[in-house]
């Protein structure tokens, strides 16, 4: 974990009582093309009223062979590589406040570009980019930045892709644990193989 990501982790507070987790069962039919590389059981995140916020299935093994860049938490993951699939049964919002329509989406790895447009968005540049699963049927594909952004804009219906922030964590952390992140966001702790990481599942970035 680099210093910037370590500082980010200091913002994590006590357990977040509004959500809890449960097993999700097998991946949905809309993600059938990816089933062979996904974990057989996923994680279901429940709201306080018992309804489902999301269900997520990560890949069995994180892909390797990527090139390291500054301020990245996952230097080994190639751009565009599949890292999971997520199902939203109801309308939700990504970290920018954009609407995520009910449906099943692939999660592919990306890093926001260093061009001055993303200052203060996150200490690390790593994001999971959402695309409509039924339109993204090749688990081995690694679309380049322009192609992945185009795929995700189809899902968002806006000029900006749908994104969830992710970072790698160290230590013996609770898999499936939910915590508050700062004052506005909520994170899910998970693990793929031996790699622990966090993914922001609710809340909008303010800044």
Compute mean pLDDT per 10 residues along the chain, 207 residues long, and list them.
Answer: 32 52 93 95 93 96 82 88 97 91 97 58 78 97 96 95 88 74 83 85 74
Position 21 scores a pLDDT of 93
Could you report how far apart the first and last alpha carbons of the chain are, in Å? 23
Position 118 scores a pLDDT of 42
Q: For 151-181, b where at least 16 C-beta lie within 10 A, e where not — what string?
A: bbeebbeeeebbbbbbbbbeeebeeeebbbb
Backbone angles phi, psi at 46, to 5 degrees: -105, 140
Q: Where is 53: in which H helix or E strand?
A: strand 52-58
Position 168 scores a pLDDT of 85
User: How far, in Å, CA of 192 to CA of 120, rounded?
Assistant: 27
Backbone angles phi, psi at 206, to 5 degrees: -115, 120
Helix (H, G, I), strand (E, B), or coil: what is residue 97?
coil
User: How far, in Å, CA of 149 to CA of 56, rounded?
Assistant: 21
Position 27 scores a pLDDT of 94
Q: Answer whether 126's CB lies under 8 Å from 96's CB.
A: no
Position 114 scores a pLDDT of 56
User: How far, in Å, CA of 147 to CA of 154, rounded?
Assistant: 11
């Amino acid at each position: 974990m680099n210093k910037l990501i370590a500082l980010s982790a200091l913002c994590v507070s006590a357990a977040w009582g509004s959500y809890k987790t449960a097993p999700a069962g097998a991946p949905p039919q809309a993600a059938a093309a990816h089933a062979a590389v996904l974990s057989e059981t996923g994680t279901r995140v429940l709201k306080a009223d018992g309804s489902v916020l999301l269900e997520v299935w990560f890949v069995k093994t994180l892909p390797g062979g990527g090139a390291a860049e500054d301020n990245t938490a996952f230097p080994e993951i190639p751009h565009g590589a599949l890292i999971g699939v997520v199902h939203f049964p109801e309308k939700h919002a990504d970290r920018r406040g954009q609407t995520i329509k009910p449906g099943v989406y692939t999660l592919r790895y990306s890093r926001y570009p260093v061009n001055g447009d993303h200052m203060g968005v996150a200490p690390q540049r790593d994001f999971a980019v959402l695309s409509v699963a039924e339109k993204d049927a090749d688990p081995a594909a690694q679309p380049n930045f322009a192609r992945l952004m185009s795929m995700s804009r189809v899902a968002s219906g806006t000029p900006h892709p749908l994104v969830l922030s992710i970072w790698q964590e160290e230590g013996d952390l609770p898999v499936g644990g939910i915590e508050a992140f700062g004052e506005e966001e909520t994170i899910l702790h998970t693990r793929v193989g031996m790699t622990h990481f966090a993914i922001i599942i609710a809340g909008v970035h303010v800044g």
